[in-house]
Structure 1
Amino acid sequence: MLTGQRKALILDILRRDGQVIAKALADDLGLSEDTIRRDLREMAGEKLLKRVHGGALPLSPDLPDFSARQSVSSDEKRRLGAHAAGMVRPGQTVFLDGGTTNAEIVRHLPKDLPVTIVTHSPTIAGELEHHSAADVILIGGKLYKHSMVATGAVAMAAIASIRADTFFLGVTAIHPARGFSTGDFEEAAIKRHIAQCSAETYVLATREKLNAASPCQILPMTSVSGLIVSSDVPEESLAPYRDAEVSLLTA
């Protein structure tokens, strides 16, 4: 098999499985593992994939620091936030993950809506300053500054005592085979714990996060109640999620 053919096969496997295991692929093709690893190094240099120990993952979006992300609010994020806010009912307990997309949920909530908002993000809590009818529960812990959320044992214990009606989960990447993922192990554990303590979990899926994978899995695709996606996302991008029988809510 020629080098170009191997690389095309590697990309096909990434799209299908969300990962490439170097040893398994070498065994399947009857090649040395060094040959596959060399292909992966070259493809990583060409920005076609992300090298990890033992193989490769699809590229995930490179995120700037939180303050830079906070200053950018796209029309897509506003539409997703407005749709999610419309799902919140009076009297509910809603857990809001950190992130700039989830901040748009708060900005679209009626300021007189009687609701309990739980969050481990001080920036999300700050957005609720003028929501006079909302009770706000801020979870503390070790601050993960990249996402401005609390992590660690203190946060885990506090979250365990709460049962939210709905959790709006923030992620850095979404893949039909690899599920929902983020870049930090501790943050992934907290997100997974919140989902386990919530009746329903929804993800606001901006276009650049689809069909990508980050190193730390949060949940498999079938573990959430639905994805909220923009109406202008091409159908071919959504087809793998429909095939996986994931509920898609269009904003």
Structure 2
Amino acid sequence: MLKHERFHHILDRLRLDGQVQLIPLSQFLGVSEDTVRRDIEELARQGLLTRIRGGAVVPSPIPNAYQAREQHDAAAKQDIARKAASLIHDGQMVILDGGTTVGWLARQLPAVRQLRVATNSLPAATALLDQPGVEVRMAGGRVHAPYRVNLGVEAVDFFRQLRADWCFLGAYGLHPLAGLTVADADEAAVKRAMVRASSHVVALITPEKLGTAESHVVCEAGALHTLVTAGSVPEPVLAEYRKLGVRIL
């Protein structure tokens, strides 16, 4: 089978199943696993799929620029933020990342007392400045202008020294096999520090990101305590996360 024919089949299977695996592809196409692996690598360079161990998944459809992401699917993000806000109570320590859905959460925090919020997000910190009863702690580091967050060693060290009740994370994709993923290595490193610092990890994910992945892993899907999403996500999709012990809101 010629290369362009293999590419066509791989992308067709990806559209139908949401993921492909090396061994079944190798057997069906009648070529070696190394050949399929090289095909997947080339398609990944073209942005047509995201590689994972043993195969590939659909890439995240989300734009990179902060302002574009903030307005993308805004109604669903606000719905998710309202659900997530119900988890927060008086006297807790909460970590907010720089995701735009988490930014909506910062604007919709409930009226609680003695809430401490740690974040690396400039928009989230700004939204909380006038919130009564909220103490804001801002991570240091290098300002990443496109994402409106602080990244780097200083930000990682800041979160390593914390112990939080809740960590609320956005992401570019969430997949049962690939996990919670983002497009930037430095962003992934900071989010991993947030996860390690928290008793409960909550992912705020719009429906179109479910079953997709990007190139840098934050954590396995099973490391999440709660997935908050919106709309009418098919039950078979949610069941894959429930099997991993993830609560769905």
What residue in structure 2 maps to residue 104 of structure 1? Answer: 104
**Distance 1:27-1:104 versus aligned 2 partners, 3 A rule:** same
2:76 aligned partner:
76
The TM-score normalised by the length of structure 1 is 0.82
Q: Which runs of 5+ in 1 are unaligned?
A: none
Runs of 4+ with deviation above 4 angstroms: 1-6, 18-21, 27-30, 32-45
Q: Distance in 1 between matches of 2:132 and 2:44?
A: 53
Instruction: Tell me the matched-pair count.
Output: 245
Using the alignment, how far apart are the partners of 2:226 and 2:102 within structure 1? 15
Deviations 1:132-165 (A, max 9, x none): 2110101110122232221211112221211111
1:156-195 matches, cutoff 5 A = 156-195=156-195
Structure 1 residues 217 and 40, CA gap change in structure 2 (3 angstroms): closer
Distance 1:29 1:118 in 2: 50
Equivalent position of 1:248 in the other structure: 248
Q: What is the rounded CA distance, in whole Å, between the counterparts of 2:199 and 2:44 in structure 1?
A: 41
What is the rounded CA distance, in whole Å, between the counterparts of 1:68 and 1:182 in structure 2? Answer: 16
Residue 236 of structure 1 and its aligned partner are, at CA, apart by: 3.1
Conservation of the 8 A alpha-carbon contact between 1:173 and 1:180: yes
Q: How far is 1:103 from its partner?
A: 1.4
8 Å CA contact 1:227, 1:248 repeated in 2: yes
Do the aligned partners of 1:10 and 1:20 also contact (CA within 8 Å) in 2? no
Aligned CA distance change for structure 1 residues 19 and 110 (closer, same or farther; 3 Å): same
Q: 2:215: which partner in 1?
A: 215
Measure how far apart 1:224 and its partner are.
1.1
Structure 2, unaligned stretches of length 5 or more?
none
**Counterpart residue number, 1:202:** 202
Contact kept? 1:85, 1:108, Cα under 8 Å: yes
Confirm or deny: 8 A CA contact 1:19 1:55 kept in the other structure: yes
Residues 192-229 of structure 1, C-alpha deviation per residue, up to 9 Å, x if partnerless?
11110111100011111100010011101111111012
**CA distances 1:83-122 after superposition (whole Å, capped 9, x unpaired):** 1111100100000111210112122213564311110111
What displacement does 1:43 show? 9.6
The alpha carbon displacement at 1:49 in A equals: 2.8
Q: What root-mean-square deviation, in Å, do the aligned CA atoms of Structure 1 and Structure 2 show?
A: 3.4
Q: Quick one: distance in 2 between partners of 1:94 and 1:181?
A: 21
User: Is contact 1:14-1:57 (8 Å) kept?
Assistant: no
Identity of aligned residues (%): 31
> In 2 relative to 1, CA 39–84 (structure 1 residues): closer, same or farther, beyond 3 Å?
closer
Checking the alignment, whether the CA contact within 8 Å between 2:93 and 2:165 is kept in structure 1 is: yes
